[in-house]
């Protein structure tokens, strides 16, 4: 039986992260956003609060909470700014949870444990300049050379590119096998031949670090191969189930932030002798935000419930990501409309919300990709089978 009532622990997590955001992000985020500054101190504070491995088992250095606790953390962080939710999405959702699912004990001890403790920061390298939605079009290569692999290529739009200590890098070990020729590697920044460069001039998420990773004859120990050769595509898709889950949860936070800002302004601003909240068309926009917040949260919690059961959740996570990210963009757009001319300036946070809301509609599966996926599920053209390696069900066994 599905029960989405929050536990006392989850309520405490929400309260803690909300307080953290109000004290340590909201007072400074406008300045960081304007300067395009990523504040690494936030990650250190999240580590001190045991939030960099919130859903990683305690035996691997995590907090051992369930997957919906991770959703709550991501929602509250994005209520502050998308940049810091993105950091947790990438570090925990895309990287650490993937090592938890696919890694061997050596890899979990060496990489997952320090990441879950926040001692190391992790990133995810799948996208290339000419390979986004079409993963098989990647050109990065990995060639076996004795006890090592030699990696060459580049990745782009990589969050935490200049900050991360460890990367999950996908490359082709067999260029003739398409999807089945892709493999995944744990790559350390300190490996010779790894360089990074930040991307400037972004529309939104300006307080985040995003950029390119270059691999020039990078020698990676064979023991850093995650899973088996040729399993990279399966690993990437399972990682996206986790990353998309955190993106969807974050979108709830942006809807909530847009709603909170709009409610405040509705009570402050008067036109035609009454609060603008008294006008029915404004109420319509407010009602839509409130409804979409509930809808999006329920979709996220259902996906989290399936994760807690150790069940495949690709369809449910895709639906949550698609619906919540579209709703977040709509909520931010309506929030600007409610604020009128003031919403068009950075005097109020809603213009930043709209800029930030666009990227999640694109990354980790565009709106169009998720639309096609849901259509194929409904028509019976697409079905999911359990992977040979699933995330561990919660509560975790020690």
Whichever domain contains 184, its CATH number is 2.40.110.10
Residues 168 and 214 sit within 8 Å (Cβ to Cβ): no
Q: What is the pLDDT of residue 2?
A: 78
What's the residue count for the chain?
Answer: 398
Whether 100 and 28 map to the same domain: the answer is yes
For 56, the 3-state DSSP assignment is: coil
Residue 167 sits at the vertex; the CA angle it makes with 163 and 170, to the nearest 5 degrees, is 140
Which of 121, 155, 179 represents a domain boundary (last residue)? 121
Residues 6 or more apart from 244 whose CB is under 8 A from it? 317, 318, 320, 321, 364, 365
Residues 167 and 218 sit within 8 Å (Cβ to Cβ): no
Token pair listed for 294: 């509930």
Identify the CATH number of the domain in which residue 59 sits: 1.10.540.10
Which of 95, 121, 147 represents a domain boundary (last residue)? 121
Whether 369 and 243 map to the same domain: the answer is yes
Residue 391 lies inside a defined structural domain of this protein: no
Phi-psi region of 379 (alpha: psi -120 to 50; beta: other; left: phi over 0): alpha
Closest-CA residue to 357 (of 217, 257, 220): 257
Whether 175 and 303 map to the same domain: the answer is no
Whether 185 and 274 map to the same domain: the answer is no
Domain tally, the chain: 3
Q: Euclidean distance between the first and final Cα of the chain, in Å?
A: 25
Q: What is the pLDDT of residue 63?
A: 97
Which of 71, 102, 121 represents a domain boundary (last residue)? 121
Q: What is the pLDDT of residue 398?
A: 61
Is pTM, for the whole model, over 0.85? yes
One digit per residue, pLDDT tens: the chain, 398 residues? 778 889 999 999 999 999 999 999 999 999 999 999 999 999 999 999 999 999 999 999 999 999 999 999 999 999 999 999 999 999 999 999 999 999 999 999 999 999 999 999 999 999 999 998 899 899 999 999 999 999 999 999 999 999 999 999 999 999 999 999 999 999 999 999 999 999 999 999 999 999 999 999 999 999 999 999 999 999 999 999 999 999 999 999 999 999 999 999 999 999 999 999 999 999 999 999 999 999 999 999 999 999 999 999 999 999 999 999 999 999 999 999 999 999 999 999 999 999 999 999 999 999 999 999 999 999 999 999 888 899 999 999 76
Residue 384 lies inside a defined structural domain of this protein: no
Burial environment of residue 272 by CB neighbours within 10 A (0 to 12, 13 to 18, 19 or more): exposed
**Residue 75 falls in the annotated catalytic set:** no
**Residue 147 DSSP class:** T
Q: Please give the Cα distance from 111 to 114 (Å, whole number).
A: 6
* Residue-range definition of the domain harbouring residue 147: 123-232
Whether 34 and 47 map to the same domain: the answer is yes
List the beta strands (DSSP E) in the chain: 122-125, 141-145, 148-159, 166-172, 182-188, 194-198, 210-221, 225-226, 270-271, 274-275
**Which of 75, 212, 351, 364 is flagged as catalytic?**
364
Residue 182 lies inside a defined structural domain of this protein: yes
Residues 182 and 136 sit within 8 Å (Cβ to Cβ): yes
Q: What is the pLDDT of residue 386?
A: 83
Whether 71 and 104 map to the same domain: the answer is yes
Please name the helix (run of DSSP H) or strand (run of DSSP E) that holds residue 373, with its range, or none: helix 367-379
Residues 183 and 5 sit within 8 Å (Cβ to Cβ): no
């Amino acid at each position: 039986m599905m029960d989405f009532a929050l536990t006392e622990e989850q309520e405490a997590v929400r309260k803690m992260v909300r307080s953290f955001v109000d004290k340590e992000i909201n007072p400074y985020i406008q300045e960081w956003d304007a300067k395009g500054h990523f504040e690494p101190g936030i990650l250190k504070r999240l580590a001190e609060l045991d939030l960099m491995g919130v859903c990683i088992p305690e035996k691997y250095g995590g907090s051992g909470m369930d997957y919906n606790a991770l959703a709550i953390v991501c929602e509250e962080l994005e209520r502050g700014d998308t940049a810091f939710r993105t950091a947790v999405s990438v570090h925990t959702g895309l990287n650490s949870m993937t090592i938890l699912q696919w890694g061997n004990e050596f890899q979990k001890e060496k990489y997952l444990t320090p990441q879950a403790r926040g001692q190391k920061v992790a990133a995810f390298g799948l996208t290339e300049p000419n390979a986004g939605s079409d993963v098989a079009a990647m050109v990065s290569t990995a060639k076996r050379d004795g006890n090592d692999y030699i990696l060459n290529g580049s990745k782009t739009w990589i969050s935490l590119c200049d900050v991360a200590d460890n990367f999950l890098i996908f490359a082709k070990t067999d260029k003739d096998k398409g999807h089945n020729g892709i493999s995944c590697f744990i790559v350390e920044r300190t490996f010779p031949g790894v360089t990074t460069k930040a991307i400037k001039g972004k529309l939104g998420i300006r307080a985040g670090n995003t950029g390119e990773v270059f691999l020039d004859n990078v020698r990676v120990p064979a023991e850093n191969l995650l899973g088996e050769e040729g399993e990279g595509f399966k690993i990437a898709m399972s990682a996206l189930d986790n990353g998309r889950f955190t993106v969807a949860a974050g979108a709830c936070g942006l809807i909530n932030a847009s709603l909170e800002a709009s409610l405040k302004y509705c009570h402050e601003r008067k036109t035609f002798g009454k609060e603008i909240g008294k006008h029915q068309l404004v109420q319509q926009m407010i009602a839509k935000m409130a409804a979409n917040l509930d809808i999006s949260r329920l979709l996220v919690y259902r996906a989290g419930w399936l994760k807690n059961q150790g069940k495949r959740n690709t369809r449910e996570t895709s639906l949550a990501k698609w619906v919540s990210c579209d709703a977040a963009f709509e909520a931010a757009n309506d929030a600007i409309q409610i604020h009128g001319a003031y919403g068009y300036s950075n005097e109020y946070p809603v213009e930043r919300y709209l800029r930030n809301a666009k990227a999640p509609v694109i990354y980790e599966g565009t709106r169009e990709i998720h639309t096609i996926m849901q259509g194929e599920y409904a028509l019976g053209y697409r079905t999911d089978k359990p992977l040979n390696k699933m995330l561990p069900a919660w509560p975790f066994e020690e």
